[in-house]
Amino acid sequence: MVGFELLDVVIGMIFVYLLLSLLCSAMNETIEHFAKNRAKDLERGLRELLNDSTGSGLVQKLYDHGLISGLFKGQYDPSGSKVNLPSYIPARNFAVALMDIILPGDANVTSGAAGATLNTSPADALQPLRSAVGSLRNNSVERALTAIIDSAGNNATEVRNGIEAWFNSSMDRVSGWYKRRAQLIILVLGVCVAILMNVNSLSLANDLWVHKAQRDALVASAQGYSQTSGLSTESLEQYRLQTRIEELSKYNLPVGWGSTNWDRVKKLDYLFILQSICGWLLTAFAVSLGAPFWFDLLNKFIVVRSTVKPREKSAEEPSKD
């Protein structure tokens, strides 16, 4: 039936988009690995959080603190390279380190982090910390920490929790920077992959509609892939760049630059060129939506297919009347 064939075409297209999204995501991760953008984003986020535009104040002290400096090699240089810096700082490390920076401790003096892991604190235990916050000469951080300390009553643990929540809310914004940049990079990679591999969504959909054997093979692979545990780190490792390219090539799809396509381009077949550009842009836009989006959508359509096509499992028995 036409409806079932159309459903299989949609599943095949979704599976192709998923494979391409995984390919571009892996390329993006490679770029991020060498560019160290996560570490740069984190350092930038800390500068904004601690109101330290030059990085030579609280940010410098934070990276030099033992709880943070142990997370990376080398020294922090506000004006130097950031490639050696950590891409992630635990919220507790940040909170305890900041409390200790505000009120340093030694063999004779209790630091500002005293009682930060206890459920109760002695009376007026936070007064020294509150006084130290008042001498920071950083109005933004002073107001934020004063509000956290005042709302904690007399419990240093609640102060630590408040600082952790403050840090995490700022890191959510940093994560937003990374996601927006990653989506843009994947979109650009999607355009490059679509052109270099000549993945034209329009011709691909038409080919799947016409050739049942290719459509069935692609749907069978999509069903097998949908039964995996999901887009975990382990499953992604199994689908490396070479594997993803091989997945696309083994279905004999209209992907790649054959002599016929090159000839039409050389002859300036404007209709073919316009159709190719539209198909490439559709592919790139689809890839930019990300592998998790296509994986979830694939699972939904596989469920729909198994529901509307129950007779594929067993042939219908003739009537005995």
Domain-ending residue, one of 136, 154, 173: 173
CA distance 281 to 202: 10
Give pLDDT tens digits along the chain (321 positions).
Answer: 566 788 889 998 998 898 889 889 888 988 888 888 889 999 999 999 999 999 999 999 999 999 999 999 989 999 888 889 999 999 999 999 998 888 886 555 555 565 555 455 555 667 788 888 888 888 999 999 999 988 887 788 888 899 999 999 999 999 999 889 989 999 999 999 999 888 899 988 988 888 888 888 888 888 877 776 455 444 444 444 455 555 556 666 777 777 677 777 777 878 888 988 999 999 999 999 988 899 899 988 888 888 876 555 444 555 555
Do 99 and 17 belong together in one domain? no
User: Helix H segments across 36-57?
Assistant: 37-49
Task: Extract the tokens encoding 147.
Answer: 């509000």
On whether residue 260 sits in a domain, the answer given is: yes
The owner of tokens 């599976």 is: 15
Do 134 and 46 belong together in one domain? yes
On whether residue 315 sits in a domain, the answer given is: no
**How much is the pLDDT for 320?**
54
Do 211 and 236 belong together in one domain? yes
Q: What single string gives the DSSP state of each residue in 42-71? A: HHHHHHHHTT-TTSSSHHHHHHHSHHHHTT
On whether residue 81 sits in a domain, the answer given is: yes
Do 280 and 304 belong together in one domain? yes
Domain-ending residue, one of 173, 189, 221: 173
Nearest of 93, 147, 99 to residue 121 by alpha carbon: 99
Do 72 and 44 belong together in one domain? yes
Do 90 and 7 belong together in one domain? no
Amino acid letter, residue 83: V
The owner of tokens 């408040």 is: 162
Do 131 and 163 belong together in one domain? yes
**How much is the pLDDT for 130?**
83
Do 167 and 41 belong together in one domain? yes
CA distance 215 to 8: 7
Total tally of structural domains belonging to the chain: 2
Rg of the chain in Å (alpha carbons): 28
Q: Which residue range is the domain that position 254 belongs to?
A: 2-35+178-310
The owner of tokens 């700022």 is: 170
Do 205 and 295 belong together in one domain? yes
**How much is the pLDDT for 237?**
44
Domain-ending residue, one of 173, 193, 227: 173
Which residues are CB-contacts of 162 (< 8 A; sequence separation ≥ 6)?
148, 149, 151, 152
On whether residue 268 sits in a domain, the answer given is: yes
Judged on CB neighbours under 10 Å (0-12, 13-18, 19+), 47 is: middle
Do 148 and 185 belong together in one domain? no
**How much is the pLDDT for 119?**
52
Do 53 and 164 belong together in one domain? yes
**How much is the pLDDT for 235?**
47
Task: Extract the tokens encoding 100.
Answer: 């200790």
